[in-house]
């Protein structure tokens, strides 16, 4: 079915690109298209959502789908094919520079942290006040997690196709800690772990903390991790775990379609290699349905699910969780060893926030905000950056991956931009092997201001001057 | 001077033991004793406090010092002399059993967590409510720590003889995390680290997390780490760090006198081995003045100070801090890598709690409570346990170290007690090398109830039957 809706989407996209449907046209209704393509209505709806994600359709409530030509649009980045081999991960300190105090005055396009305007400040404050009044409950060790928090997580996981009990949940200090606990549970120092490339720097840092080697698997800009690349690596190296951000990966923004998630899960199960899934951006899909995690396709208890509220409710809570499955005893022990438990008050507050339905109400707004913010930033980049620049087309989250044309250096842009008080993340951060010198990652989760507009224009100008050699 | 007040204390103790001063007698005033011994008034006061710690004096406000004969009193445990060699630390999972859910119904004499009655519940709730209303401040990343929290810590550290700036403080998830960050900053996996023995299991677990070898240095029941033992180990092994709980160590309850702290600091500075100081019980001295940390004697920036509020305000906050000195950049990086930052709300709440003076007010009560609770438990153990049992005489904190006579097994007591729903910590937990089979650690931080009294009596009876071989 995954293949089918993609075929329909491709054909519709072809019709749009050939001018059969023009900018602003209303698409025929779903029943019409269902007959036209000989597919079910749900397949048509999935095709619509796919095209919406690609930027070719606009859903207007109660009016249907309208064509939107992303006219002078930048292409998606090209998936890089590398002959990779495992390397130890060391000295990934660059992220620290991006978060240093002195950067707080810069135009904040570097770190993937939402602007406070996008956070549910009032509602989480209500829940925190509620939690503060819990008395004793706020003072005792919450190991392996507050019952109320774990119950709410179990309820949410069930809606994602992962039916678990509260006892299957381990509360952590963010997803970063969850990933480290998962790695500790299934690897020994020196082992080889497969990750996407470009990869979230936190994952590379997690590998460094545990003393692991990394092998980087190419990521397709919209379909995610290359399964072919992964299979080659599995055949060649004794890989002990695979870490994947399955939904709206950071920095690429890729979302693996369900069929590829399914393949990923069975491929790793066959190879007896645990999948560590980071689903931190899953709730921030821009349209359509909440994408499933790979864990929903896990029939052999081979997927360790990790997530957090850092990208949704707030990063300051430091509240995440994991579903370690058969590795629970091991993960619990490591959690206890590294810091005993996760702070009680944030758990009580978030449990209340979820229970009240505030989270789901907030997500509806947040998803719309991030979608708009990402599109606006994408358009601004397309206008400002040199011809030949490619920009990712994420279907969720709030970061963009910008690939400058060959011969241009993103690292130079990063350095010069810092001198002008503009903070962006250089591509180099997203790999162990200096692969992405021509890339940048931009955080879009900011209300659009003249300051930001000018910063993006300036970045484009700097990029135009940043020729290497 | 340290030697001098000890001499005065020893002489006074001799006079008491010889019956010159009898139970309930009021000691001569400090001026009289100052003339009598030819020492300063402050030396007399220090001697008084020492004797108070040893259980021979009672300070009554505005009335002076009264003799108290700890009549049929158990002796202090004997410092064990071991020929130690470094061993890797592995599989220290026993602590987990002590905290498991099913233990919550047992008589809670195992974990070193205070009963909620002893915690400043109402005041910390006020401060948490205050913090919850801070709005934005509660949502952003607090890396490397909330300014207000770090400022309060800097103020407290100054009163301990450690003048530092707020920027010298790194907020952590408890002291456990601080110790791990300190170890990561100064060691490589496989390195040898010296610790006290018996040692706090959390420190052994921290060594395991970082992949280190341990060499155990004997601890004197009241003077703390054997400096002679440490020197021998430094001469023989390439030790890369030394972790010491300088004030009211857990489990032994030892407090290093100032002169020995000074020697420890200079000995390690000379050997170029960093001291990682865990001062988590420092604020819980039973009488006299707040003992100084070793860090107060550090002239060469060779001491990394670690502490937390887990034993005072509450363990559920998961809030600690460290003063890493020249290792700050390294510690910050590791903190960022493992979980980015410490949750904001607990930091804001504790900063407010400290700023309001609530902490100091609370400590006055807590110290009295823990002193009384420890004495009561000590007396009950002396009554109930077999003749020849030794019990530590801590001058702070709330745990007791019980050494059964040769030929008796604490491990057996632990196992049989669990079957009767009494939870104690077996001596085995406090070493890597099965040294303390004849020992137990008891948590005294509980209001004295018939249930607890009966549990101690029962433990004593079980001990009497727990003959080995």
A138 touches B: beta carbon within 8 Å: yes
User: Which of A113, A132, A341 minimises the CB distance to B141?
Assistant: A113
How much is the CA Rg of chain A, to the nearest whole Å?
22
- Burial (CB count within 10 angstroms: exposed 0-12, middle 13-18, buried 19+), residue A289: exposed
Task: List the single range of A418-432, B40-54, B337-351 with lowest mean pLDDT.
Answer: B40-54
Tell me if B204 sits within 8 A of B86, measured CB to CB: no
Query: Which residue of chain B comes nearest to A317, CA vs CA?
Result: B343
> Residue B338 and residue A177: Cβ atoms within 8 Å?
yes
The beta strands (E) that lie in A222-359 are given as 224-225, 239-244, 275-278, 303-308, 320-323
> Residue A141 and residue B315: Cβ atoms within 8 Å?
yes
What mean pLDDT do residues A58-72 have?
Answer: 76
B-facing residues of A in 198-227 (CB < 8 A) are 202, 205-206, 208-209, 211
Which residues of chain B have a CB within 8 Å of the CB of A129? 129, 132-133
Among A309, A318, A335, A341, the strongest candidate for a mutation testing the B interface, having the largest count of B CBs within 10 A, is: A318
Query: Which residue of chain B comes nearest to A130, CA vs CA?
Result: B129
Residue B93: per-residue pLDDT: 57
Which residues of chain A have a CB within 8 Å of the CB of B90? none
Other beta carbons within 10 Å of A105: 9
> Residue A336 and residue B205: Cβ atoms within 8 Å?
yes
Quick one: DSSP state of residue A80?
Answer: P
Question: Is the alpha carbon torsion for A349, A355, A357, A359 positive or negative?
Answer: positive
Query: Which residue of chain B comes nearest to A319, CA vs CA?
Result: B343
What mean pLDDT do residues B337-356 have?
Answer: 96
B13 touches A: beta carbon within 8 Å: no
SS3 A461: helix
Task: List the single range of B90-99, B225-234, B319-328, B405-414 with lowest mean pLDDT.
Answer: B90-99
Which residues of chain A have a CB within 8 Å of the CB of B349? 132, 345
Among B92, B123, B316, the strongest candidate for a mutation testing the A interface, having the largest count of A CBs within 10 A, is: B316
Distance CA(B82)–CA(B84), nearest Å, equals 5
- Domains of chain B, each with CATH number or no CATH: 2-67 (1.10.10.10), 88-116+364-465 (3.90.1150.10), 121-359 (3.40.640.10)
Interval B100-134: pLDDT, tens: 655 678 999 998 999 999 999 999 999 999 999 99
Query: Which residue of chain B comes nearest to A142, CA vs CA?
Result: B316
A132 touches B: beta carbon within 8 Å: yes
B321: closest CA of chain A, how far (Å): 12
A119 touches B: beta carbon within 8 Å: yes
Interval A411-457: pLDDT, tens: 999 999 999 999 999 999 999 888 899 999 999 999 999 999 999 99
Distance CA(A236)–CA(B218), nearest Å, equals 50
Tell me if A78 sits within 8 A of B102, measured CB to CB: no
Closest CA to B149 of B290, B298, B309, B305: B309
- Largest pairwise CA distance in chain A: 66
Query: Which residue of chain B comes nearest to A338, CA vs CA?
Result: B177
Among A210, A316, A332, A333, the strongest candidate for a mutation testing the B interface, having the largest count of B CBs within 10 A, is: A316
A315 touches B: beta carbon within 8 Å: yes
Residue B1: per-residue pLDDT: 38
> Residue B318 and residue A343: Cβ atoms within 8 Å?
yes
Mean pLDDT of chain B, nearest integer:
91
Which residues of chain B have a CB within 8 Å of the CB of A110? none
What mean pLDDT do residues B157-179 have?
Answer: 96
Cis check: omega of the bond before B251, within 30 degrees of 0: yes
Query: Which residue of chain B comes nearest to A308, CA vs CA?
Result: B339
Which residues of chain B have a CB within 8 Å of the CB of A117? none
> Residue A318 and residue B343: Cβ atoms within 8 Å?
yes
A179 touches B: beta carbon within 8 Å: no
Rounded to an integer, what is the distance from CA B234 to the centroid of its chain? 24
Which residues of chain A have a CB within 8 Å of the CB of B132? 125, 128-129, 131-132, 349
Rounded to an integer, what is the distance from CA A114 to the centroid of its chain? 13
DSSP labels, A99-121: HSGGGGGSEE-SS----GGGS-H
A124 touches B: beta carbon within 8 Å: yes
> Residue B345 and residue A346: Cβ atoms within 8 Å?
yes
Interval B267-315: pLDDT, tens: 999 999 999 999 999 999 999 999 999 999 999 999 999 999 999 999 9
What mean pLDDT do residues A198-203 have?
Answer: 94
User: Which of B132, B337, B338 minimises the CB distance to A129?
Assistant: B132
> Residue A315 and residue B140: Cβ atoms within 8 Å?
yes
Residue B252 has pLDDT above 50, yes or no: yes
User: Which of B92, B180, B345 minimises the CB distance to A345?
Assistant: B345
> Residue B138 and residue A180: Cβ atoms within 8 Å?
no
> Residue A139 and residue B209: Cβ atoms within 8 Å?
no
> Residue B139 and residue A124: Cβ atoms within 8 Å?
yes
> Residue B316 and residue A133: Cβ atoms within 8 Å?
no
Phi, psi of A240, deg, nearest 5: -105, -15
Residue A416: per-residue pLDDT: 95
Residue A206: per-residue pLDDT: 96
A123 touches B: beta carbon within 8 Å: no
Residue B24: per-residue pLDDT: 80
Choose the most confident range, by mean pLDDT, from A22-26, A81-85, B93-97, B350-354. B350-354
B-facing residues of A in 146-175 (CB < 8 A) are 172-174
> Residue A318 and residue B339: Cβ atoms within 8 Å?
yes
Helix B344-355 and helix B358-384, axial crossing angle in degrees, nearest 10: 100
% of chain A surpassing 90 pLDDT: 74
> Residue A116 and residue B140: Cβ atoms within 8 Å?
yes
A187: closest CA of chain B, how far (Å): 13
Residue A103: per-residue pLDDT: 67
Two tokens at B433?
């090398």
SS3 A189: coil
Residue with the larger pLDDT of the pair A63 and A347: A347
SS3 A203: helix
What mean pLDDT do residues B161-168 have?
Answer: 95
What mean pLDDT do residues A129-157 have?
Answer: 93
Distance CA(A8)–CA(A33), nearest Å, equals 9
Residue A210 banded pLDDT, cuts 50, 70, 90: very high
Closest CA to B156 of B302, B326, B309: B309
Residue B135: per-residue pLDDT: 87
Phi, psi of B217, deg, nearest 5: -110, 130
> Residue B132 and residue A125: Cβ atoms within 8 Å?
yes
Residue A49 has pLDDT above 90, yes or no: no
Residue A240: per-residue pLDDT: 98
Residue A1: per-residue pLDDT: 38
């Amino acid at each position: 079915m995954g293949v089918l809706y993609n075929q329909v989407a491709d054909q519709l996209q072809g019709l749009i690109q050939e001018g059969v449907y023009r900018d602003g046209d209303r698409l025929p209704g779903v029943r019409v298209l269902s007959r036209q393509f000989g597919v079910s209505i749900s397949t048509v709806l999935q095709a619509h959502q796919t095209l919406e994600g690609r930027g070719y359709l606009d859903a207007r409530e109660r009016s249907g789908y309208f064509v939107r030509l992303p006219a002078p649009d930048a292409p998606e980045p090209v998936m890089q094919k590398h002959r990779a081999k495992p390397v130890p991960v060391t000295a990934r300190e660059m992220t620290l520079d991006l978060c240093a105090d002195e950067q707080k005055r810069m135009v904040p396009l570097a770190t993937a942290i939402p602007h406070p305007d996008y956070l549910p400040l009032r509602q989480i404050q209500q829940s925190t006040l509620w939690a503060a009044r819990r008395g004793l409950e706020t003072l005792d060790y919450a190991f392996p997690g507050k019952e109320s928090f774990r119950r709410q997580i179990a309820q949410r996981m069930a809606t994602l196709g992962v039916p678990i009990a509260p006892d299957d949940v381990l509360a952590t200090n963010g997803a970063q800690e969850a990933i480290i606990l998962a790695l500790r549970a299934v690897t020994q120092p020196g082992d080889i772990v497969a990750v996407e490339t470009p990869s979230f720097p936190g994952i590379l840092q997690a590998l460094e903390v545990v003393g692991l080697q990394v092998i980087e698997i190419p990521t397709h800009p919209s379909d995610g991790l290359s399964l072919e690349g992964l299979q080659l690596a599995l055949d060649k190296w004794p890989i002990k775990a695979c870490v994947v951000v399955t939904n709206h990966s950071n920095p690429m923004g890729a979302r693996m379609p369900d069929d590829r998630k399914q393949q990923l899960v069975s491929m790793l199960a066959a190879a007896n290699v645990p999948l560590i899934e980071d689903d931190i951006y899953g709730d921030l899909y821009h349209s359509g349905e909440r994408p499933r995690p790979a864990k929903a396709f896990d029939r052999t208890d081979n997927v360790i699910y990790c997530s957090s509220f850092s990208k949704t409710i707030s990063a300051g809570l430091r509240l995440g969780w994991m579903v370690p499955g058969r590795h629970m005893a091991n993960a619990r022990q490591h959690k206890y060893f590294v810091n005993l438990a996760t702070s009680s008050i944030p758990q009580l507050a978030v449990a209340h926030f979820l229970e009240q339905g505030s989270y789901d109400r907030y997500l509806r707004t947040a998803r719309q905000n991030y979608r708009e913010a990402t599109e606006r930033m994408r358009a601004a980049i397309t206008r400002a950056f040199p011809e030949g620049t490619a920009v990712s087309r994420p279907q969720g989250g709030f970061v963009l991956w910008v690939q400058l044309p060959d011969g241009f250096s993103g690292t130079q842009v990063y350095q010069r931009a810092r001198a002008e008080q503009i903070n962006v993340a250089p591509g180099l951060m997203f790999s162990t092997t200096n692969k992405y010198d021509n890339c940048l990652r931009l955080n879009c989760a900011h209300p659009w201001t003249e300051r930001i507009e000018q910063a993006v224009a300036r970045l484009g100008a700097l990029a135009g001057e940043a020729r290497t050699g």
